[in-house]
Amino acid sequence: MLISDLTLSQAITQQLGQQESTIAGLEMQLSSGKALNSPSDNPAAVTQVLQLSGQSAQIASWQSNASTAASWLGVANNAATSALDQMQSARTVLLQALNQGTQTSTSYQAMATQLQGIDQTLLASANTQYEGRAMFAGTSAVTQAYDTSGNYLGNGDTPSVVIGAGTGPGQTTPISVPGTTLFGTGAANVFTTLSTVVGALAGGAPTAAQLNTALTALDANIATASQGAATLGEASQQATAANAALTTQLQSVQATQTGLESVNIATVTSQLTSQLTNYQAAMWAASKAIPETLDHFL
């Protein structure tokens, strides 16, 4: 064989091998539905996909936290609304009690019983749980925020979750508030207010001073609860808005990633057809150019 024939055969063999590799890659894309089956397919696109995948995972984590926060705050808002309603009911009872000219020992005692019921309902709201966790215990791991006497068992920290990038742990949103934010602190909490006036009413002869003191204390409790409920409402709006924004952001990133990874069937089919045509033409040309060595090199 002449050296020129050997060189030509090697060149043709190399060209045919490259075409076969291209055809195999296109067939793989059509069968897998993915444009990127190995890093060598498109190194730049693979790098971008890896970056998008990491970004998607981070956004998904934030979105999940925002969704959790919205759920927590929905339950917390319902509990706060119920608590305010109960406090207003207690205020109505106290106003009736202050109309002392129409009350008797029996009616006062009945009011004491009524307020005891309100107190228990309030306590149930204060001990509201979500997924087995006391909602109003701050960041404490206790199972109840208040004991049966209305003493606070949690801490004063506000539980929160991370919903975005930022300094320190990142951008956070509260998922609840400490119980003291809604029900008052120490001896000034609503449970102390109610238990004190219940004692006076149960005796059947409360003084005007006792009832007025209780009413003033309860009004302060209502003001505290109203402010706490407003805080929860604002947090709920923030969490809901963050959840919606993160959901949209996640969908955008995932769509970009899918666009890089997914095959355009029509385009790849056209490319495969063209490559097969070229390959057949190259095979025919090779058979004409070096028929005596083609079988050996292929």
Predicted pLDDT of residue 264: 46
Instruction: Please report whether residue 234 resides in a domain.
Output: yes
Instruction: Please report whether residue 39 resides in a domain.
Output: no
Reported as a single tens digit per residue, the pLDDT across 28-45 is: 554 555 555 555 556 666
Q: Are residues 179 and 272 in the same domain?
A: no
Identify the residue whose tokens are 């006036």.
197
Reported as a single tens digit per residue, the pLDDT across 180-202 is: 999 999 999 999 999 999 999 99
Q: Are residues 251 and 133 in the same domain?
A: yes
Run of H or E residues at 174: strand 171-174
Q: Are residues 283 and 169 in the same domain?
A: no
Q: Are residues 217 and 284 in the same domain?
A: no
Q: Are residues 284 and 209 in the same domain?
A: no
Instruction: Please report whether residue 41 resides in a domain.
Output: no
Reported as a single tens digit per residue, the pLDDT across 149-167 is: 999 999 999 999 999 988 7
Residues 145 and 165: their CA atoms lie apart, in Å, by: 31
Instruction: Please report whether residue 31 resides in a domain.
Output: no
Q: Are residues 297 and 273 in the same domain?
A: yes
Instruction: Please report whether residue 46 resides in a domain.
Output: no
Q: Are residues 223 and 294 in the same domain?
A: no
24 pLDDT higher than 80? no
Instruction: Please report whether residue 10 resides in a domain.
Output: no
Q: Are residues 247 and 272 in the same domain?
A: no
Q: Residue 207's domain spans which residues? A: 52-258
Predicted pLDDT of residue 16: 56
Can you give the three-state secondary structure of 177-196, one letter per residue? CCHHHHHCCHHHCHHHHHHH
Burial status of residue 225 (CB atoms within 10 A of its CB: 0-12, 13-18, 19 or more): buried
Instruction: Please report whether residue 204 resides in a domain.
Output: yes
CATH of the domain at 124: 1.20.1330.10
Split into its structural domains, the chain has a count of: 2
Please give the share of the chain, as a percent, with pLDDT higher than 70: 71
Q: Are residues 111 and 240 in the same domain?
A: yes
Instruction: Please report whether residue 235 resides in a domain.
Output: yes
Reported as a single tens digit per residue, the pLDDT across 218-266 is: 999 999 999 999 999 999 999 999 999 999 999 999 888 777 765 444 4
Q: Are residues 92 and 138 in the same domain?
A: yes
Predicted pLDDT of residue 52: 82
278 pLDDT higher than 60? no
Residues 162 and 239: their CA atoms lie apart, in Å, by: 11
Predicted pLDDT of residue 275: 56
Q: Are residues 216 and 298 in the same domain?
A: no
Q: Are residues 221 and 235 in the same domain?
A: yes
- Rounded to 5 degrees, φ, ψ at 151 are -85, 135
